[in-house]
Amino acid sequence: MDPIANFFSSEMLHSGIRLTTPILLGAIASALSSRAGVLNLAIEAKMLVGAFVGLVALDASGSTFTAILAAFLAGAATGGLMAGAHRLGVDLIVFAIGLNMLALELSVYLMRVLFGGTGVWTPDVETLGDIDIPLIGSIPFLGDLLSGYNILVYLAFAAAIAFTLFFRYRPGRHLLAIGEAPGAAAAAGIAVPRYQTTSLVMAGGLAAVGGAFLTVGELGLFARGMTDGAGWIAVTAALLAMNRPGFLIPASLLFGFSDAFAIRLQSTTDLPQVVVQLLPFLATLVVLGFVGYRAMRAAATLGMPKRPRGAARPPQPATSTAGT
Amino acid sequence: MSTTTPRLIAAAAALGASALVLSGCAGSSAAGNDSDDTFSATLVGGVAGDLSYTDTALAGLAQAKDELDVTTKHIETPDAAQGETLLRSAIPTSPDLLLSITLPLDTVVSIAEQYPDQLIALPDQADEGTELPDNVAAYTINVHEGSFLAGVVAGAMTESHVVGAIIGGQAPGLDQFALAYKQGVLAACPDCEVKLSYLNFQFADPALGKSTALDLHSDGADVIFQVAGGTGTGVIEAAKEGGFYAIGVDSDQDSVAPGTVITSMLKRVDANVLALITAAEEGDFASGFTQVGLADGATGLSWDTGSTVFEENAPTEAAAKIPAVKDLVEDFRAQILDGSLEVCDALNAPDSEACAALG
């Protein structure tokens, strides 16, 4: 029992949740875009934009709220750019790769020109404070898991839950329809372009807040390419969750905790280093195998990812049973 | 909309083309260097501002520019995959000396064989037994003795008797830092526990560095040595925030967080850059490998170069310990230099007795 308690130390849980937060926000952004029928590979770019703009705004205003808002707006603008390109019929995959490269180099360029830091910029700023939840914070295991993070961590998980609930309402259902069959949705009178634009703008904002979490929430510094692939991991997490809102949190936790586990395993066990680093990937492989198996089963049902729930029921109750 | 699309694409294409032309201009003006008679040196590789490895090499380049009559240039390789292309593209600008860092040795050798008249110098290259062509000179910096001294500092400074190290990945070149550090800690503090935390070759992830450092700290570590490039800035940030100490690497990182970074384990790529440029300019370019270490001043502590940042900014209690720690370091340095103490060299002699004792 003791080694287990030692392994799941409060610091390990905190590390895992902190590393999960940007991935989760990015994964919501990716899933939201996918549900609108757009493969959004520019999550990494939006995270970097958010990380950079957030820190610049924090340095300028001294207010973390302004910083997060600025990051959200900058990300939303990037998302808007992507939506505009989509309307013009630009290949979004190429566009996204371009955006990723642009964000990486532009952030470094601006950092050098504006702030003189060549590779790392460390302004004198106050990062977000941690919130201790009064009662829950004192419960042994649960308190460590749930209490003592900054506001963005709670916001990320709240966003994931809100995203799940969103699909129980009419706009969410419309979005689902657009993602599955844009032509049919348009024929049914749904404003497809408007939904796609809104989704991309929201996705941009969310991913940027994920980036701002790193600079405004955690580190108070900006380093070249500091998201280090978190945006791509977010895209992968969303794919692993099959873009199902309910699976986004566990999929993100898997990736977020994989590094925390690897760190922790080294300090508590004598397992060889290579094995420790392999474990998270092994876990991912197992989960992907499971997902693949489900997809094969789904293929047997004429390519529908799942059997439409309540298909036998008339359509009106399906949209109004949100509470049940 | 269908009419605006082609026009837009055309506009974008024009923009892209003009960008290409502009970059072409930059290239041709660089080639113009060749016409004057001053000695020119071009460094290819790394990314400026990593506060670590590349910055050290650049410091050497800047020193060469100041002290010798040479023109210098740095070509960054943010993406390792572009390294070969960028090194090749530097050759037509015909610098008198081309310096390469971070690129794999066999890539450099194959380019050197294609251009036998181009002198290429490698200021930091592990000797893997490859035969070098006549136009290539390489310096190997053995960092184990410097890392040992960093370990001595950590062992002497720790209050909790638990010290940590965060290493970018597990490879012989990185273990040369890590195992010697461990040996140094145990030499200064035999009952200390040394926790080595290896990452998965993530050298640009400060958030991960911070998490790892906080995790080590939660296990009691109060001094953490970072050997993780950009990830290491997160380690120093964690130490600053959590009120424990860090030891920097490669460059003098003492002033990244004054009073938090006790000292930095230097890898003097700058000295090698300067030495190679000086030799090439004076016409005694010597091809082949040259091994340098503590005795040559190629590795050591930031204290050796006169850094007093920690003493001036640390809490008085910690600062008061420094003179005694410095004496201890000098003691061990003398033992290493006169050969009475063997430090584990995980890169060149992983099977030595000194390494075997560390497990």
Bigger pLDDT: A9 vs B235: B235
Bigger pLDDT: A315 vs A292: A292
The whole-number pLDDT of residue B12 equals: 63
What's the mean pLDDT in B216-234? Answer: 92
The whole-number pLDDT of residue B29 equals: 41
One-character DSSP codes across B198-214: E-SS--S-HHHHHHHHH
What's the mean pLDDT in A9-18? Answer: 86
Q: Which residues of chain A make contact with B237, given a CB cutoff of 8 A?
A: 219-221
The whole-number pLDDT of residue B350 equals: 87
The whole-number pLDDT of residue A320 equals: 44
- B78 touching A, CB under 8 A? yes
Q: Choose among A53, A42, A49: nearest CA to A98.
A: A42
Q: What does the mean pLDDT of chain A come to? A: 85
Q: Is residue A189 part of a domain?
A: yes
Task: For residue B6, give how far its alpha carbon lies from the nearest alpha carbon of chain A (Å).
Answer: 10
Q: Is residue A191 part of a domain?
A: yes
The whole-number pLDDT of residue A9 equals: 80
Q: Is residue A237 part of a domain?
A: yes
Residue with tokens 């990812």: A305
- State the residue range of the domain holding A265: 2-120+136-312
CA–CA distance, B329 with B145 (Å, rounded to integer) = 11
* Residues of A engaging B, defined by a Cβ cutoff of 8 Å: 9-12, 14-15, 18-19, 22, 87-89, 104-105, 108, 112, 117-120, 122, 214, 218-221, 223-226, 228, 259-260, 262-264, 266-267, 273-274, 277
Q: Choose among A159, A224, A205: nearest CA to A20.
A: A159
pLDDT in tens, B162-203: 999 999 988 888 999 999 999 999 999 999 999 999 998 888
Bigger pLDDT: B5 vs A72: A72
- B51 touching A, CB under 8 A? yes
Is B144-267+299-356 a domain of CATH 3.40.1110.10?
no
The whole-number pLDDT of residue A299 equals: 59
Q: Is residue A110 part of a domain?
A: yes
Domains B37-141+270-296 and B144-267+299-356 share a fold: yes
Confidence of residue A22 (pLDDT cuts 50, 70, 90): very high
- B267 touching A, CB under 8 A? no
Contact predicate B224/B244, CB 8 Å: yes
Residues 6+ apart with CB under 8 A from B340: none
CB-nearest partner of A11 from B1, B215, B230 = B215
The whole-number pLDDT of residue B32 equals: 41
Number of domains in chain A: 1
pLDDT in tens, B41-99: 999 988 887 777 888 899 999 999 999 989 999 998 877 778 888 999 999 988 999 99
Q: Is residue A321 part of a domain?
A: no
Q: Which of B196, B218, B226 to mutate to test the interface with A (most CBs of A within 10 A)?
A: B218
Residue B11 burial by Cβ neighbours in a 10 Å radius (0-12, 13-18, 19+): exposed
Q: Is residue A208 part of a domain?
A: yes
The H-or-E segment that residue B223 falls in is strand B223-227
Task: For residue A221, give how far its alpha carbon lies from the nearest alpha carbon of chain B (Å).
Answer: 9
- B48 touching A, CB under 8 A? yes
Q: Which residues of chain A make contact with B55, given a CB cutoff of 8 A?
A: 118-119
Contact B207 A274 (CB under 8 A): no
Q: Choose among A27, A44, A20: nearest CA to A226.
A: A44
The whole-number pLDDT of residue B36 equals: 60
The H-or-E segment that residue A222 falls in is strand A222-223
CA–CA distance, A19 with A12 (Å, rounded to integer) = 10
CA–CA distance, B334 with A230 (Å, rounded to integer) = 47
Residue B255 burial by Cβ neighbours in a 10 Å radius (0-12, 13-18, 19+): middle
Confidence of residue B27 (pLDDT cuts 50, 70, 90): very low
CB-nearest partner of A273 from B5, B198, B234 = B198
Compute chain A's Rg from CA coordinates: 21
- B5 touching A, CB under 8 A? yes
State the SS3 of A45-93: HHHHHHHHHHHHHHHHHCCHHHHHHHHHHHHHHHHHHHHHHHHCCCCHH
CA–CA distance, A180 with A118 (Å, rounded to integer) = 46
The whole-number pLDDT of residue B31 equals: 41
- CATH code at position A239: 1.10.3470
pLDDT in tens, B149-166: 999 999 999 999 999 999
Q: B37-141+270-296: which CATH number, 3.30.465.10, 3.40.50.10540, 3.40.50.620, 3.40.50.2300?
A: 3.40.50.2300
The whole-number pLDDT of residue B15 equals: 59
For B104-125, b/e burial (b = at least 16 CB within 10 A) is: ebeebbebbeebeebbbbbbbb
Q: Which residues of chain B make contact with A260, given a CB cutoff of 8 A?
A: 211, 215
The rounded percent of chain A whose pLDDT value lies above 90 is 44
CB-nearest partner of A263 from B50, B51, B211 = B211
Sequence ranges of the domains in chain B: 37-141+270-296, 144-267+299-356
The whole-number pLDDT of residue B72 equals: 92
Q: Output DSSP code: residue B251.
A: S
pLDDT in tens, B233-264: 999 999 999 999 999 998 899 988 999 999 99
One-character DSSP codes across A227-269: TTTHHHHHHHHHHHTTT-HHHHHHHHHHHHHHHHHHHHHHHH-
The whole-number pLDDT of residue B30 equals: 41
Q: Is residue A131 part of a domain?
A: no
